[in-house]
Structure formats: C-alpha cells, structure tokens
Structure 1
Amino acid sequence: MDKKQVVLDIQDRPKLGQWFGLSIQHMFSMFGSTVLVPILVGLNPGIALFSSGIGTLMYILITKGKIPAYMGSSFSFIVPMLALMKAAGYPAIAQGTVAVGLVYLIVAIIVNFFGSDWIDKVLPPIIVGPIVMVIGLSLASTAAKDATLNAAGKYDIKLFIVAMITLLVTIGFNMYLKGFLGLIPILLGIVFGYIVAVIFGLVDFTPVMKANWFQLPNFQIPFVSYKPEFYWGAILSMAPIAFVTMTEHLGHIMVLNQLTGRNFFRDPGLNKTLAGDGTASIIAGFVGGPPVTSYGENIGVLAITKVHSIYVLGGAAFFAIVFSFVGKLSALIESIPSPVIGGISFLLFGVIASSGLRVLIDKKVDFDKKRNLMIGSTILVIGIGNAYLQLGQYQFSGLAVAAVLGIILNLVLPEDAASEKQNIG
C-alpha cells in the first residue's frame, strides 16, 4: 500500500480523543465473535474478553510493536472443547489450550533456527491472493446467517432489513464523513444499527438491567480454582488443530503485509508472530479462556479506516480488559443483535477478500497461464466451499485444505502446460 494513503501508520500515536474512539471501534468489531465462542462452549465470556485483551498486549510486546493485530477467541477448537467440557470440564480445556500455545512456540523455535526465506517460494502471489480471498469469502455465510436467521434458525425479514440498513449506513459513513468521524465509520455503523434494532424490537435489555456494575470474571486458575491433572485426550484432540490455525495465522499476516506495505515474515519475523500467538493462548489457558488467534474482523477495520496504529490496537485490548470487569457494559455490548453484526461483517469480510484480489492485480498474475488458473481455481472453490478434511476427531477446515493443496500444486506443476508449449512451438 502507498503509505501516503495511510491515515495513521503503525508507530503513529493518535490524539487522545481519537485514540478512544478508534480503540472502542476495534473492540466492538471483535466483541461478538470473542464472546460467542465461550457462550457456545459453556465458558465464561468475561474471561474470554479478559484473555483476548491480555493476549493482544503480549502479542504486541513479543512482536516488538510492529504488527497491528488483535487476538480473539478461535472458532477452530469449538468441537473438541464441547466434547471436553462434557467429559471433564474446564481443566481439560485449559490443558488443551496451553498445549496449543506450546505447539506454536515449538514451531516458532524451529523457524528461528531455520529461518523463513522459504516463505517467498512456498507462498508466491498466486497462492497468497486466493488464500486471502478465501479468508474473507469463507466467512460470507456466517455474515449472511447473522443477517437473516433468528435464534430458532428461521428466516426473519426484520433481521435482513436491520442488516441492510447497518451495511448501507456504514458505507455512507465511510464515503462521506470527514475528519475524526471519517475514521470511525464501523463504530458509528454499529451504533446506528443498534438504534434501528431497538426500534425493530430486536434488543433485549433484561441482561443489562440484571448485570452488576462491577463483576469479577470467574477465573479458572490452576492450583487456585482446581487441582490440575494430565488430560492426554485434551492434548491429543486440541494440539494438532494448532497446525490448522497456523495456516490462518499465515493468511492473516499476508493480508497485513498487503495492507501496510511491509513484510512481517522478515521483520519482526515469523518466529515472533508465532511466539506471540502461542503465548496469548497459553495465557488464556491459565486464566480460563479458550485458545485465541488473530481476528479478520479487526483486519477489516484496518483496511477500511487506513488506521494501522499499534496504539489503537493496544487501546482496544485495554478496553477489553476493563470491560471484562464492568458487568453492565459487557452485557450492553453482548446485547448487540446478530443482524447488526451481520451487516457490518458483510463489509469487513468483503474488504479482506478484495485485498486478496488486489494482490493478484498488483503482482500482475497472468490467468491466461493454465498453471495459475489451475492453482487459483482450486484454492478458491475448496476454500470458499469449505471442503474440509475429517480424520477421526480432527477436522481440517477448507481453508487449510485449500492452502496445502495450493502450495503442493505450486511446487509440482510446470511453468507451462504441454498445450502451451505446443502453441509456443
């Protein structure tokens, strides 16, 4: 990206008033997904919010404040966590979460010794572009469900109307507002959409009224809350999935490289990014939260606002920690209905997908070449369609399958197809 287009670069510090609004915007963007994971599994949402904030600050510290990323609850571990919660409760999940973080640290150590020069060869633009597109487009169905289906799984026209109003208003804010307001279109879109949802009767204020102002999260700390013991089933069911989320980790770094005009694989280095991600999950495991990973929602905010300041992401982490102790504020944000999140997600996920398209355009990838056409087409359809691989209790997402298959095709396919050589001759 041309740095002249950037409003605030990575090391730029915003003014105090701007800082508050920009950070709150990022926190709102990740809040719904971060608390949804623990709600689905049966964990404490406040702890997930707390661990996401602490994990993000640790990630920023370990990556030397060079990467604007936010760490939130990972959806990839929901299935094994549900099984572990029924079988042995949170202590088993905690051990699995720590094991996930340790896998990241081990891989980070290996990368530290052997370097990451192989990345440019393994991940050329024909791989990076489609993978980035898949990251955005594979989430499209999630946004669509939020925008159309109620809690019973039935279509509700009111949800669709609220989602569309939220989307269109956010687009309008992004295009026509100037000054500071032009930097927080996502936040303004969420607030406007929330008001519309209230008018449509989609917001339940009961949990907000019942919540206490100060509410200590129900931390689950080993040797304090419970006596830890080995759960080999937890380790074996969750640790291997770390290799799946690493694929998503690489994809998010690719997107950030494109957005910021940098190469984070080289500086601060893939070893640092993996270590930051792994440390965040280990911390989450020790306080009672689920594994965490970098969030596409926040990357979408970076792309739309062109505010890449690490201070803004750090501020979002700070507010997440504070809000985890303020019961009414947490309940208020949790009351944001799904169509508002869905409407915003249409834009956020679409921007990520468009960033992948931009990679292909900027690098002038030639789709007249059969090799590029075969690789790109395979990645897009398998990834977006989520043609996942199920091996026993392990599930590898369509994104992971698409990425691995794309890398293999890139390494084995010749530069020119036999028919192309014949035409050249």
Structure 2
Amino acid sequence: MDTNDKHYRNPEAVLDLYERPPLATWPLLSLQHLFSMFGATVLVPLLVGLDPSIALFSSGIGTILHILITKGRIPAYMSSSFSFIVPSVALMKTAGYAGVAQGTIAVGLVYLVVATIVGIAGSGWIDRALPPIVVGPIVIVIGLSVASSAADNAMMNGKHYDLTYFGVAIFTLLVTVLFNMYLKGFWSNIAILLGIVCGYVLSVALGIVDFSKVISTPWLKLPAFEFPYISYTPKKIYWDAILSFAPIAFVTMAEHLGHIMVLDELTHRNFFKNPGLHRTLAGDGTASIFAGLVGGPPITSYGENIGVMAVNKIFSVYVIIGAAVFAALFGFVGKLSALIQTIPGPVIGGISFILFGVIASSGLRILVDNKVDFNRKRNLMIASVILVIGIGNAYLQIGSFQFTGIGVATVMGILLNLILPREALSEE
C-alpha cells in the first residue's frame, strides 16, 4: 500500500497520524508536548521583550492553522523562532513592536511566495537534491547542533557551573530513560512527562525553584495583545525590519525542510508529496503572519516535539492539536503559565539530552536503512562537510544578516551532491 494513502498504518506507531487517543490519556499526551516546547517558546519573547503569554497563544493558534492548511496530515508543532532574536531586539529599541510585526509578517509572506512557486513548479527536485546521503547528515546536525544548549541548561546557573544543576539534569535524564525502558503501555508513552515531573519535584526539594512569580500572578490574565491600528498605529513602513527579517526566512525554511525529513522517516510517509511542500510552507508562513498580527514573534516548526514523537512513537495529529489548544488557553491562565515557567533549566536540559539525541539517531538510521556506502569518497565528502559545518555552526554573516550553520550545511550538502561525480577518479 502507498504509505501516503490515508488508510496506510505505520506498523511501528503506537498511535499513527489519524488515530485519536482515548479521552482519559489524551490530555497527558498533549501536555507532554506542551512541557517539551514550553521553555524555548517563552524564552524567545523574554529575550526580545515581548509578552510570553502571546507567544504561547500564537504558537497554539499557529499550530492549528498549520494543521488545517496541511489537511491534518502532518504532526508538526509551530512555535517561537530563535533565528530572529538579534534583529528583533534591535527593532524593539528603535521602532517598538510595530517594526517587529512588519518583519514577522514579511517572513510569512516570503513563505507564501515560495510555497506558491513550489506549488506551480512541483517538488520533484527534492528527491534529486536530497538523497539519503544528504538527508541523513542534515538530520543528525538538526539534533546535535543544539546539544550545547541542552548542556548549558544542564550545567549552568547563570554564568557559573553548578554541580546541583548537573545532578538534577542527570537524575531527570536517568529516570526518563528508566520509565521509557521499564514501564509498559500508557505509562511508557508519557515517560518524558514523568521525567519532567520527577526532575521538577527534586528541584523543589533542593530549593532551586522560585515560586514568587506564581504567587504574584493572577489566575486569569489577558495577554498584552498588539493589534495593528488598535493597540498601536504603524507610523510608516519599516523597510529595515522587512529587509532584515525576510532573508532569514530562507534559513528557517532550510530547518523546516530538515524537520519534514525527520517526520518522513519517523512516520514512514513522504510529506513532500502529500500534502506537499507547498502546503507545509504555506502553513508555516500563515502561522508567522498570524503571530505578527497579535503581538508574537516569528513562528517555525519545533524539533523538541519531533523528539517526543521519536521516543514514544505516537504520531497522532490529535495529540499535537491538544498541545496547541492547551498552549492557546494557558496564554490566558496566568498562574498555570507562570508555574510552567518555573521549570528549571537543568530539568529541561536533562530531557533535551534525550529529545535532541533521538533526532540525531534518526539521521543515523536513515543512513543505515538506505545502506549508504562510506567506502565511496563521494559519500564521505558530502557527509563530512555537512556534519562539521552544521554541528560547528559555521554560519555566514553579512552585515546584520546571519545564515545559520544548519542552513549553510544544508546548502553545501545539496551543492556537493549535485556537482560531485558518482565515482572519484581513484575509484574508477
């Protein structure tokens, strides 16, 4: 059976794309996704100077929009992008949110333009540009490029190494591994959530959780929405915002492609063909436009949630929808939002060791399953370049524009695959 047929079922899945979880377990499975992405989602607006509650709300609604546009076929979670932090901080000082909003909307429009081009020209080029020797190392890079972030969360208390923090991170890591390996059925499926809870309880016992913000925050709190011509009136078109944000959209597109590749591998589908790359790009772009209209940061797909699916083998779109609904609602529940923000860095770090590592391992699996021969110099050269540039984050900087290491590695891998001969002269 065609794996893109709606009636196909992935034999490795605990819950496949269109399977709805039982009502009793659905909320916990969705909360697991919420907790996994929460830290990164609220960190972006905190660094930029935006309201974290709006980021939660826009991520939830943006995810639902993406699912609708992709015909409910892709279990991808959309949330705050780190790629736009530097220009966002600069614009908040000079133009306020009006500048950030125009840049964020410009990002979405770039996605829509590219999606239209892909829809007209087709996506047949993807198979030629992205064979397993390119896809595998890129997926490995997606997982390992953020390894240092996980390690910093696990070790660092501010700017200082903290042995207690590291102990909490390792404890969270180990209990999550044990839950995943030795629990059965539903309890094994929520191993990540259980690990976060256990790490959090230990953190409270060790006194590294600050509840002051939870106490001072009201139960119900309306996010500080930024609606154009209601909350503020744009004084002009901020071309500097548009020109600084729009090129970075191509960086996040490269990451978007990588995430779709990982989801293809996990779910045994080809989302590039069905529902089509044009729909996945349009969904991503629409999510960013919505965020820009309500006061949020630019939106992109999240690897943390892909990591959760890789661990528990639950690919249900309904679980992702549940996480999106919780995120949107939590934007209005002040105390719950504040409570989740108290989850300390070492707990997130310990969980991230697993989530990011599983993504990287999925890249290895692509290479193994496709029997990529590393005795061939061509394959060795392509993989080596992608891995070192991507993991080392050898980014391209031109003025304020920065093309991340993942983006550079992806472009280099595609170019080498297209221009290198099938056999080196010494192998002929």
What TM-score, normalized to structure 2? 0.97
- Check if 1:123 corresponds to 2:133: no
Partner of 1:135: 142
| Runs of 4+ more than 3 Å apart | none
2:413 to 364, 383, 406: 406
The residue aligned with 1:87 is 94
Distance 1:364 1:322 in 2: 46
1:106-117 alignment, distance < 5 Å: 106-117=113-124
Could you tell me which residue of structure 1 aligns to residue 174 of structure 2? 168
- Tell me which residue corresponds to 1:362: 369
The answer to whether 1:282 aligns with 2:294 is no
Whether 2:326 is the aligned partner of 1:298: answer no
Q: What is the CA-CA distance between 1:182 and the residue it aligns to?
A: 1.2
Alpha-carbon deviation of 1:199? 1.3
1:386 maps to 2:393: yes
Please say if 1:349 is aligned against 2:337.
Answer: no
For 2:363, the aligned partner's letter is G
Which residues of structure 2 form unaligned runs of 5+? 4-8
Distance across 2 between alignment mates of 1:254 and 1:179: 28
DSSP-derived class of the 1:72 partner = strand
Of 4, 18, 24, which aligns to 1:17? 24
Other-structure match for 2:71: 64
Q: How many residues align structurally? A: 420
SS of match in other structure, 1:17: coil
2:228 is aligned with 1:193: no
Q: Matches of 2:266 and 2:76 in 1, distance apart?
A: 12
Q: After superposing the two structures, state which structure 1 stretch, 170-179 or 371-380, moved more.
A: 170-179
Determine the structure 2 residue equivalent to 1:273: 280
CA distance in 2, matches of 1:35, 1:80: 18
Query: Distance in 2 between the 1:240 and 1:397 partners?
Result: 12
AA in 2 matched with 1:226: Y
Give the Å deviation of 1:327.
0.3
Distance of 1:150 and 1:85 partners within structure 2 = 27
Shift of 1:178: 1.1
1:377 to 384, 394, 398: 384
TM superposition shift of 1:355: 0.2
Give 1:209's aligned residue. Answer: 215
In 1: Cα distance, 2:336 partner to 2:365 partner: 38
Equivalent-residue separation in structure 2 for 1:286 and 1:323 (angstroms)? 19
Partner secondary structure for residue 39 of structure 1 = helix
Instruction: Find 1:254's aligned residue among 254, 261, 275.
Output: 261
Say yes or no: does 1:182 pair with 2:180: no
Instruction: Give 1:180 deviation, angstroms.
Output: 1.4
Q: What pairs with 1:227-242 in structure 2 (closer than 5 Å)?
A: 227-228=233-234, 229-242=236-249
Query: Which residue of structure 2 aligns with residue 225 of structure 1?
Result: 231
* CA distance, structure 2, for counterparts of residue 396 and residue 50 of structure 1: 28
| Alpha-carbon shift at residue 3 of structure 1 (Å) | 2.0
Which secondary structure does the structure 1 equivalent of 2:25 belong to? helix
Q: How many Å separate the matches in 2 of 1:156 and 1:267?
A: 47
1:104 and 2:111 aligned: yes
Name the amino acid aligned to 1:218: A
Cα deviation code 1:29-84 (max 9, x no counterpart):
11000000000000000000000000000000000000001001000000110110
- Give distance in 2, aligned partners of 1:288 and 1:282: 10
DSSP 3-state at the match of 1:375: helix
Q: Quick one: distance in 1 between partners of 2:144 and 2:166?
A: 19
- Percent identical pairs in the alignment equals 68
Structure 1: unaligned runs, 5 residues or longer: none
Task: Supply the RMSD in Å over aligned alpha carbons.
Answer: 0.8
2:157 to 145, 150, 154: 150
SS at match of 2:196: helix
Amino acid at match of 1:20: P
Deviation at 1:244, TM superposition (A): 0.6
SS at match of 2:246: helix
Aligned counterparts of 2:164 and 2:28: Cα–Cα separation in 1: 29
Residue 39 of structure 1 is matched in structure 2 by: 46
